[in-house]
Amino acid sequence: MNQFSKQNHAPQQCLVFAHRGANREAMENTRHAFDKALDYAVDGIETDVQLSRDEIAVLWHDRFLDKIGLRDKRIDDFDFHELQRLINPESANESIMSLQDFLACYRNRCHLLIEVKNRHWEPITRHQSKIRHTLDLIGKNPESRIIVSSFNLASLDYAHQYNTNFPLIYNFETHQSLADARQLLHTHAFLDGLCLPIATADQTIVDLLHAHHKSAAVYTCNTDLEINKALRLGVDILISDLPQRALMLRDR
């Protein structure tokens, strides 16, 4: 059983993860945002991985580089050394962070949830390259505090083939249902759990996951209503843009 799963006889405390760091107070996926989150003593950080043109794993969420003023350019239009020069003043003069630097700074300070952003318009070879780079940087024998997730199920299949010991979580879309979860528990028993949209998460699916000793994570819980719903459901991981608020409500 993975360490995030709840045992029926001994429930663990819900872990609060800062979504791309404390992104309401600093530019998302930057050192400043991550350090702000850790100031609140969050349990973990969620971040996103893509590849530069020269296949360096970097932290970036969107398809385009709008956030640094390049509306029609993508992350893979540039080599890593070029990306480092594209600094947005709102980022406290920080350049785009590499996954290698992120791991060096934070893997020993909190739990990490690393989402590999494999998009449907990208070639499969690039999907697989992104997975390999991510898992190689984390290491062949990853500590249990690091989990990799993706919305791309084929990428998680490939990740499991590449490293059968690696903890993997599949991110659900809002259209996916309890029936999909049941099917996945049968066809993809290697998954450590599911990350569910808070809008569609319910007690039945959370209980199903726990009955199979799988983790239940939810995204993205920003209102008191959403945070309290996640806490009532007894999820293992709560991902929020407002981690300080989630911590306060959990600990209260």
For 15-251, which CATH class? Answer: alpha beta
- Strand-pair category, 111-116 with 146-150: parallel
Single pTM value for the model: 0.94
Distance (Å, whole) CA 250 – CA 163: 34
Both structure tokens of 39: 């100031």
**8 A C-beta contact, residue 226 and residue 241:** no
Distance (Å, whole) CA 4 – CA 7: 9
Which contiguous run of DSSP H or E holds residue 5? none
Q: What integer pLDDT is reported at residue 140 of this predicted model?
A: 80
Distance (Å, whole) CA 111 – CA 103: 11
Q: What integer pLDDT is reported at residue 5 of this predicted model?
A: 52
**8 A C-beta contact, residue 238 and residue 15:** yes
Contacts for 15 with CB less than 8 Å, ≥ 6 apart:
4, 43, 44, 111, 236, 237, 238
Q: What integer pLDDT is reported at residue 3 of this predicted model?
A: 53
In a structure prediction context, what are the per-residue pLDDT tens digits for the chain, which is 252 residues long?
455 554 443 457 999 999 999 999 999 999 999 999 999 999 999 999 999 999 999 999 998 998 888 889 999 999 999 998 887 767 778 899 999 999 999 999 999 999 999 988 899 999 999 999 999 999 987 677 999 999 999 999 999 999 998 999 999 999 999 999 999 999 999 999 999 999 999 999 999 999 999 999 999 999 999 999 999 999 999 999 999 999 999 999
**8 A C-beta contact, residue 155 and residue 131:** yes
Q: Which 8-state DSSP code applies to residue 113?
A: E
Is 43 strand, coil or helix?
coil
Both structure tokens of 98: 């590499």
Distance (Å, whole) CA 176 – CA 78: 35
Domain limits, the chain: 15-251
